[in-house]
Amino acid sequence: MTHPIIAREGWGRILAAFGLAGVVHLLAGFWVALPFWMVALLVLQFFRDPPRSVPDVPGVVVSPAHGRIVAIRPDQDPFSGARSVRISIFMNIFSVHSNRIPVAGQIVAREYRPGRFLNAALEKASSENERCAVQIQTEQGVQVSSVQIAGWVARRVLTYIDIGDTVTRGQRYGFIRFGSRVDVHLPPDSEVIAKAGKWVLSGSDIIARLRPHPQ
């Protein structure tokens, strides 16, 4: 099956942006319409959704988001409260905003929380912003949580999976519009490969390796 180049979440906005630019162009000419064409192109690139090459390596965690790693630090899992390592990936308006599953397994928890719309690059965005968290349990009994966080421009978090769903590593599972962040909570003994300040690609770049935790 051919992978769509443009995310389905964007077609309405893309058509509206290009339609407006076209109308202004016809009525007022190219130079007046130029800013509208630039905005339309910006909207088009925002909703791009390129295919990813998902690594087939046992025990690895791939980045759920395309962006810059702004934090790697100890934290608490949003569901169990257990100690975790949190990796935070910030997406700006030039990132691909289609989110992907970090590890294969089954969705065992999901929770949406309303909140504020602070700059998603800030540390307190993890606890104060609007967000939707899901927890995945792997076949080896390891639990990994992925949290979509809305930013000051992003006002809509879209999540397409629910409790009981079986998911694969790198699978597309959600979308956040116009600048946002995704936090990944891993067991504290995970081997973190990601580096703060580096850019990662969603679904293809490995950010950590898990150690099995048999139940």
Domain of residue 87, residue span: 60-209
Residue 90 Cα to chain centre, angstroms: 9
Residues 164 and 94 in one domain: yes
Tell me if 12 is assigned to some domain: yes
Same domain, 90 and 176: yes
Same domain assignment for residues 89 and 169: yes
Assign 135 a pLDDT band (cuts: 50, 70, 90). very high
Q: Catalytic residue, from 180, 190, 202, 204: name it.
A: 180
Say yes or no: 35 and 67 in one domain.
no
Res 152 pLDDT > 80? no
Asked, for residue 51, whether it belongs to a domain, the answer is no
Per-residue confidence (pLDDT) for residue 1, from 0 to 100: 42
| Rounded-to-integer distance, Cα 70 and Cα 57, Å | 25
The identity of residue 202, as a single letter, is S
Compute CA distances 80 → 84, 179, 189, whole Å: 10, 28, 16
214 lies in a domain? no
Provide the number of structural domains found in the chain.
2
Active site includes 127? no
Checking if the pLDDT of 82 tops 80, the result is yes
Same domain for 101 and 25: no
pLDDT at 125: 55
Q: Is residue 215 part of a domain?
A: no
Task: Tell me what the mean pLDDT of segment 126-152 comes to.
Answer: 85
Residues 31 and 102 in one domain: no
23 and 127 in a common domain? no
Residue 7's nearest CA partner among 92, 98, 94 is 98
Identity of the residue numbered 127? S
* Residue 11 vs residue 106, higher pLDDT: 106
Task: Please give the pLDDT value at position 178.
Answer: 65
In a domain, 104, yes or no: yes
- Does 21 share its domain with 87? no
- CATH label of the domain that carries residue 151: 2.70.70
* Per-residue pLDDT at 103: 97
